[in-house]
Structure 1
Amino acid sequence: MGIEGKVALVTGGAQGIGLGIAKRLAADGAAIALVDLDQGKLDKAAAEVAEAGTRVTTFVADVANREAQSAAIDHTESELGGFDIMINNAGIAQVKPIAEITEADMDRIHAINVKGVLWGIQLAAARFKANGTRGKIISAASIAAHEGYAMLGAYCSSKFALRALTQVAAKEFANDGITVNAYCPGVVGTDMWVEIDERFAEITGARKGETFDQFVGSIALGRAQTPVDVAQLVSYLAGPDSDYMTGQCVIIDGGLVYR
Structure 2
Amino acid sequence: MNCSSLRFAGRVGMWRSHWSTLRPLSKVISTDLVNRRAIKAAYSSLSRQSSKGKSVIITGSSRGIGKAIALRLAADGYDVCINDLSVNQAACDKVAEEIRGMGRKACVALADVTNRDQVKEMIGTSVRELGPLHTMIANAGIVQVQHVLELSDEDFQRMFAINVFGVQNCLSEAAKQLISQGNCRPDRPGKLLAASSIVGFRAFPLLPHYSASKWAVRGLIQAYAMELAKHNITANSYAPGIIDTMMWDIIDAGVSKRTGLDPNEVTEKMAHEMMAIDRVGVPEDVAKLVSFLASSDSDFVTGQTQLVDGGIVFT
Instruction: Normalising by structure 2, report the TM-score.
Output: 0.81
Q: Which runs of 5+ in 1 are unaligned?
A: none
The answer to whether structure 1 residue 225 and structure 2 residue 243 are counterparts is no
Q: Which residue of 2 aligns with 1:82?
A: 132
Partner of 2:74: 26
Shift of 1:97: 0.3
Which amino acid is the alignment partner of residue 111 of structure 2?
A
SS in 1 for 2:220: helix
Deviation at 1:8, TM superposition (A): 0.4
Q: Summarize deviations over 1:164-207 as a string: whole Å, max 9, x none.
A: 00001100101100000000000000000011101111111111
Say if 2:198 and 2:307, in contact at 8 Å, map to a contact too. yes
- Secondary structure in 1 matching 2:109: strand
Gaps of 5+ in 2: 1-48, 185-189
Provide the secondary structure at the position in 2 that maps to 1:9: strand
- Name 1:16's counterpart in structure 2: 64
Q: Per-residue CA shift, 1:69-101, capped at 9, x if unaligned? A: 110000000011121000000000110000101
* Deviation of 1:40 (Å): 1.1
Q: Is the 8 A contact 2:71 2:99 kept in 1?
A: yes
Give the total of aligned pairs. Answer: 259
Q: Give the structure 2 partner of residue 184 of structure 1.
A: 239
Q: Indicate the residue corresponding to 2:307 in structure 1.
A: 251
Q: Which residue of 2 aligns with 1:99?
A: 149
Aligned to 1:3: 51
Task: Return the alpha-carbon distance in structure 1 between the equivalents of residues 132 and 74 of structure 2.
Answer: 15
133-142 or 15-24, which moves further after superposition?
Answer: 133-142
Using the alignment, how far apart are the partners of 2:177 and 2:114 within structure 1?
Answer: 19
Correspondence for 1:242: 298
1:194 to 249, 269, 276: 249
Q: 2:201 aligns with which of 140, 146, 151?
A: 146
**Offset at 1:41?**
1.4
**CA distance in structure 2 between the partners assigned to 1:163 and 1:209 by the alignment:** 31
The structure 2 residue matched to 1:42, chosen from 80, 89, 92, is 92
Retained in 1: the 8 A contact 2:132–2:181?
no
Q: Which letter maps to 1:228? A: E
What code does the residue aligned with 1:100 have? E
Sequence identity percentage: 40
Secondary structure of the structure 2 residue equivalent to 1:60: coil
Separation in structure 1 between the aligned mates of residue 76 and residue 177 of structure 2, nearest angstrom: 23
Distance 1:51 1:28 in 2: 14
Look up the equivalent residue of 2:261 and give its one-letter code.
A
For 1:108 and 1:15, the matched residues in 2 are separated by: 21
Displacement of 1:133: 3.1
Highest CA radius of gyration, 1 or 2?
2
Measure the CA separation in 1 of the matches of 2:124 and 2:139.
Answer: 18
Which runs of structure 1 show a deviation greater than 6 angstroms over 4 or more consecutive aligned residues? none
- Structure 1 residue 221: deviation in Å? 1.4
> Could you say which residue in structure 1 is the equivalent of 2:22?
none
The residue type equivalent to 1:34 in the other structure is I
Aligned to 2:119: 69
**What is the CA distance between 1:229 and its match in structure 2?**
0.8
1:59 to 89, 109, 132: 109
CA distance in 2, matches of 1:137, 1:156: 21
Q: CA RMSD in A?
A: 0.9
Structure 1 residue 150 displacement after superposition: 0.6
Equivalent of 2:159, from 109, 116, 122?
109
User: What amino acid is the match of 2:65?
Assistant: I
1:139 is paired with a residue whose SS is strand
Equivalent residue in structure 2 for 1:127, among 159, 177, 199: 177
Comparing 170-179 with 43-52, greater Cα deviation is found at 43-52
Letter in 1 for 2:172: Q
The TM-score normalised by the length of structure 1 is: 0.98
Superposed displacement of residue 211, structure 1: 1.8
Greater length-normalized contact order (CA 8 Å, ≥ 6 residues apart): 1
